[in-house]
Structure 1
Amino acid sequence: MPKVSIIVPVYKAEGYLHRCVESILAQTFTDWKLLLIDDGSPDRSGEICDEYAKKDTRIRVIHKENGGVSSARQRGQDEACGEYTIHVDPDDWVEPTMLEELYQKAKDDNADMVICDYYTNESSLQNYIKQEPTKLDNNVVLYELFQQLHGSCCNKLVRRACYSGKANFPKGINCCEDLIWCIQVLKCKPKISYINKAYYHYMITTTDSQSKSISAERSLQDLKMLHMLESLLFDNNDVLKEMYKRTVPYVMKRAMKTYCFDSDYFKCNFKKYNRYILSSHKSSFILRFICYISTIGGYRLCLPLIKMMK
């Protein structure tokens, strides 16, 4: 049994998968299992995974039909073994001491979840992103996921026993699927620790921008994601309000940009968020104002205005 399982969902990653896997092979901590989940990738990603598995017995490859990143993460979670798990995306990479220091912190504090800082990398620019909660309490961290903390599963080492059977990646949702998973884990009331250091490099590329392009399918997933967040947070009104303020304006913006909802459907799904839209300080006043007007009869008037926004 390895101490840590590392889950990497792989899709169209042949251009950068080597960098990701090599950074894991370079870990100073060696008691790990790497699960490469080939999500039906049409390029050479699957072959690259197989090549690595032949070289190192700690690497296991799982080939599956394409189902999106959420299904790939879930398959990795289902196949994981050992005490802790962590996720790494195939276009990113990690520092050599990441597993050693996160695992040691987990053991020292008997922690179920260890959070660390991370870097964003874009071309030659690198930014350090602080992820320290104001308090190491699951309710505080849950609240701050809609403030200054990032709902990623890649900067968090998590004990499997604390979430097994209680936290899963959502079917059919491939946006914010890691945020939904993190919320489920935090609702299991884990003991949380934090390391004041960045180990994870999140690469921002033109491919990222293309993959996040707005589509009708993405807008429908956004709405499904919003409803799932509501169902998870229904018993915590403070966090629910913050989620609305942070999430609703952008979901509405993307929905209007795709023209995928008619006026009645849009009003039916978004009118109830009026008061949260106007009180939100997470988005610009112009976006908030347009979103508010769109839910009180000005939907068609607002469509061309939203189209002009980035």
Structure 2
Amino acid sequence: MPAISIIVPIYNMEHLMRRCIDSLLAQTFTDYELLLIDDGSKDDSWSICQEYARKDARIGIYHKENGGLSDARNYGLSKAIGKYTIFADPDDWVSPEGLDRLYATAEREQADMTMCDLYREDEYSRHYVCQRPQSLQAAEVLKELFANIEGFTVNKLIRRDVYTRFDISYPKGIYGCEDQYTMAAILLHDIKIAYEPVAFYHYMYNSASLTRHYDERTYEMDMRVLEMFRTLLEGNATQQLAVTYQENAVFTRAFWNGRGYYSSAAFKQRFAPFRDRVSSLNEMTVVKGCMVAACRGWYQSAIKLVLFLFKVKQIIKRIKSFVAYSGKV
């Protein structure tokens, strides 16, 4: 039985998945199985999975009908046999020493969940994101999950039997909060938590997220997710904190992605009450100003300005990256 099961759900990632898989195979820790779950890809992802499986006996490959991210993760968990599990997304990558340190800490502390730091980056910049919780008590980490701790499962080594012990699986039919919801479900239980100060995971920012499709069904799904958290945390002291967090997430997604759906008047009609909340959001000052303007009826102008400034910022990053590269050459 391998010590760790690494689960990678894959859907149409032929151009990006090799970097992810290669970085996992380059781990200094070697006692693992790598499960590649092809979720009904329509490109050459499955062929690439087969190629890698022929090269390394630790790789297990599975091809299934498309069911979404949560379904692929649940499928991976059903096939995993490792003592611990961790997930990776095929468009990200990992540093080579990460699993070694996570596993050593998990074993030393006999932890159910071992957390670590991560990087947020794009092709031009990288930012270290510390994920050290203020307390290692599950109830306190649950509160921080809606404040300053990311809900990702990719930077958390979790005992596989935690999922079966508490009958926890990833929620199907939603998009964007699967990890956070599952982490909240786990943290409702008095599990043993440890922390290792290493940035193991490189979370790649995709600028295409600013142009994702948004319509009334998106809003309805976001509201359903909100109710899922309300129900999950009913009777828990964290419920209101989670509800406020998810309400803000509904507003934020609408602001960033709703340009092709909301008129300025429609945005104001739905989100005017959020004007007084904008100051508490984790956004740059100029973005907050535009959000307030959107709540007052100038959404289309505000989002055009923000997207323009974002493009300018990316150009500046590109120039700085080119200058730095030229200097090294």
**Aligned-residue offset at 1:185:** 1.2
Percent identity of equivalent pairs: 39
Runs of 5+ unmatched residues, structure 1: 294-300
Mapped partners of 1:288, 1:181: distance in 2: 32
Distance change (3 Å), C-alpha of 1:158 and 1:276? farther
Say which SS state the counterpart of residue 24 (structure 2) adopts: helix
Farther-moved stretch of structure 1 (77-86 vs 162-171): 162-171
Q: Partner of 1:188 in structure 2?
A: 189
Mapped partners of 1:138, 1:8: distance in 2: 26
Amino acid at match of 2:182: W
CA contact (8 A) 1:278 1:289 kept: no
What per-residue deviation string (whole Å, max 9, x for no partner) do you get for residues 168-201 of structure 1?
1101012110101111111122100001111110
Q: Partner of 2:321 in structure 1?
A: none
Q: Partner of 1:243 in structure 2?
A: 242
Mapped partners of 1:305, 1:207: distance in 2: 20
Answer yes or no: is 1:71 the counterpart of 2:71.
Answer: yes
Say which SS state the counterpart of residue 194 (structure 2) adopts: strand
Mapped partners of 1:302, 1:242: distance in 2: 29
Q: Partner of 2:319 in structure 1?
A: none
Q: Partner of 2:316 in structure 1?
A: none
1:126-141 equivalences under 5 Å are 126-141=126-141
Distance change (3 Å), C-alpha of 1:66 and 1:26? same
Q: Partner of 1:26 in structure 2?
A: 26
Distance change (3 Å), C-alpha of 1:67 and 1:133? same
Runs of 5+ unmatched residues, structure 2: 283-287, 307-329
Distance change (3 Å), C-alpha of 1:309 and 1:158? farther
Amino acid at match of 2:104: Q
Q: Partner of 1:281 in structure 2?
A: 280
Mapped partners of 1:233, 1:285: distance in 2: 32
Mapped partners of 2:291, 2:274: distance in 1: 14
Q: Partner of 1:10 in structure 2?
A: 10
**Aligned-residue offset at 1:79:** 1.5
Mapped partners of 2:18, 2:110: distance in 1: 33
Mapped partners of 1:253, 1:206: distance in 2: 16
Say which SS state the counterpart of residue 152 (structure 1) adopts: coil
1:1-310 equivalences under 5 Å are 1-164=1-164, 165-210=166-211, 212-237=212-237, 239-252=238-251, 254=253, 257=258, 258=261, 278=277, 281-282=280-281, 284=288, 287=291
Mapped partners of 1:302, 1:73: distance in 2: 41
Distance change (3 Å), C-alpha of 1:71 and 1:81? same
Q: Partner of 1:297 in structure 2?
A: none
CA contact (8 A) 1:248 1:277 kept: no
Amino acid at match of 1:144: E
Distance change (3 Å), C-alpha of 1:305 and 1:129? same
**Aligned-residue offset at 1:214:** 2.5
Farther-moved stretch of structure 1 (108-117 vs 9-18): 9-18
CA contact (8 A) 2:136 2:194 kept: yes
Amino acid at match of 1:177: E
What per-residue deviation string (whole Å, max 9, x for no partner) do you get for residues 39-85 of structure 1?
11111111111111111121111111112212111111222112100
Task: Provide the aligned length of Structure 1 versus Structure 2.
Answer: 293
Say which SS state the counterpart of residue 147 (structure 1) adopts: coil
Mapped partners of 2:233, 2:303: distance in 1: 31
Amino acid at match of 1:281: S
Farther-moved stretch of structure 1 (91-100 vs 150-159): 91-100
